[in-house]
Copies of this chain bind each other. A is one copy, B any other.
Amino acid sequence: MRDKKDAPLRSDAQRNRERILDVALEELTLCADAPLSAIARKAGVGQGTFYRNFPNREALVLEIYRHEMQQVAATAARLLETRPPDRALREWMDRLAGFAMTKAGLADAIRLALGAPNSPAKPSPTPVAEAAELLLRAGEEAGTVRPGVTGDDFLLAIAGLWQLDPDGDWQSRATRLLDLVMDGLRAGAWGEAHR
């Protein structure tokens, strides 16, 4: 009953998998509906090898998604160490905006892969939500964020970021959105009167 999980892949297979992921990130960022066959070809592997690693488009996209999101999540803790909570939160939001813009193609690819069919494995307690939670709790204690807002609430509130057009003046629209959200978060915090 001991199965594949612990078998650490043959080294050539390992390399293949990584090459696929590298190429896929680049290719999907450029064009969300890039053919999987093209990705396999550019990665220098056969169709079968591709499908051995990623049984379908969703699996591939999800893996990339996780990796990218973990990067963003990780910055939250770092920001909290060097800035007051509400500054850290806002700066993290700005970075999320920038991230959403450079990875717009990838975001489309995710929706394209997960949106349509029954998506059973929506990873709900995601690292990004946890990172948001971290910042929110800090803000709550500092009195700059109303109590009880969850990481998921937060992500829902800034969902509009992924709807902006990367080629255009998204900057001002993002700022306006984030200002609005920040004010919404502040309303009802115990430190609200101070300002």
Contact = CB atoms under 8 A, between A and B. Distances in A.
A92 B4 CA distance: 53
Interface in A39-75: none
Contact of A187 (B152, B153, B186): B186
B184 A116 contact: no
Indicate the member of A32, A108, A186 with the most B CB atoms within 10 Å.
A108
A2 to B, nearest CB: 36
A163 B157 CA distance: 10
Contacts of A149: 176, 180
Interface string A150-184: 00110111111011110000000100110011111
A21 to B, nearest CB: 20
Chain A's interface size range is: 35 or more
A83 interface: no
A111 interface: yes
Given A108-B115, A111-B115, A157 B160 contact: yes
A164 B122 CA distance: 11
Interface of A: 31-33, 108-109, 111-112, 115-117, 122, 149, 152-153, 155-160, 162-165, 173, 176-177, 180-188
Nearest to A158: B160
A73 to B, nearest CB: 18
A45 B64 CA distance: 41
A3 B108 CA distance: 37
A31 B118 CA distance: 9
A188 B158 CA distance: 20
Given A112-B112, A180-B184, A184-B184, 7 more contacts: A108-B116, A109-B116, A111-B111, A122-B165, A153-B177, A183-B184, A187-B187
